[in-house]
Structure 1
Amino acid sequence: MAELPMFPLGMVLLPGGVLPLHVFEPRYRQLVVDCLSDDGEPEFGQALITHGSEAGGGDERALVGTVAQMIQVEALDDDRYALVTVGTRRIRINAWLPDDPYPIADVEDWPDSSPDAPGLDDAVTSSHARVRAALALAAELGDVSAEVVDSDISTDPLVASYHLAALAPIGPADRYRLLTASGPADRLAVLDEVLDDVEAMLKFRLT
Structure 2
Amino acid sequence: MAASGIGRQAAAGEGLKPGGTRERLPIFPLGIVALPAADVPLQIFEARYRVLFSTLMAGMPGIDEGLVNTEKPWCGSRRFGLAFYDNQQQALAAIGTLLEITEHSNLEDGRILVNNIGRQRFKIVEVVEEKPVLICDVEYLPDAEDEEANSPEAHELAKEVSDLFRNVVSLSVKLKDSTVPDEIANPRQLAELAPRELSFWVASLFAGNPYQQQALLEEETAMGQLKAVKELLGGTVKYLSAQAALRSAFKSTGSGSDIAPPPGGPD
Shorter-chain TM range is: 0.7 to 0.9
User: Which of 157, 160, 163 is the matching residue for 1:123?
Assistant: 157
Quote the residue 2:186 is aligned against: 150
Matching residue's letter, 1:21: L
Q: Give the match's secondary structure for 1:15.
A: coil
Query: C-alpha separation between the residues in 2 aligned to 1:62 and 1:146?
Result: 36
Instruction: Give the structure-1-normalised TM-score.
Output: 0.80
Indicate if the aligned counterparts of 1:91 and 1:107 stay in contact, CA closer than 8 A.
yes
User: Of 3, 21, 41, which residue of structure 1 is paired with 2:42?
Assistant: 21
Establish whether residue 185 from structure 1 lines up as the match of residue 203 from structure 2.
no
- Percent identical: 26
Asked whether the 8 Å contact 2:37–2:198 carries over to 1, the reply is: no
Please name the residue that 1:34 is paired with. Answer: 55
- The verdict on how the C-alpha distance between 1:78 and 1:155 changes in structure 2, with shifts beyond 3 A counting, is closer
* Alpha carbons 1:5, 1:103 under 8 Å: kept: yes
Paired residue for 1:74, among 82, 105, 108? 105
More strand by share: 1
- Report deviation, 1:201: 4.0
In 2 relative to 1, CA 198–183 (structure 1 residues): closer, same or farther, beyond 3 Å? same
Cα pair distance change 1:117/1:146, threshold 3 Å: same
Measured at CA, do residues 60 and 116 of structure 1 come closer, stay the same or move farther in structure 2, by a change above 3 Å?
Answer: same
Distance between the aligned counterparts of 2:35 and 2:217, measured in 1?
7
Q: Is the 8 A contact 2:124 2:136 kept in 1?
A: yes
* Deviation, structure 1 residue 168: 5.2
Query: How far 1:198 sits from its partner (Å)?
Result: 3.0
Q: Match for residue 91 of structure 2?
A: 60
Distance in 2 separating the partners of 1:138 and 1:11 = 24
Q: Secondary structure at the match of 1:197?
A: helix
Q: Quote the offset at 1:8 in angstroms.
A: 2.2
Contact 1:134 1:169 in 2 (8 A): no
Pairwise CA RMSD of aligned residues?
2.7
Q: Which 5+ residue runs of structure 1 have no aligned equivalent?
A: 53-57
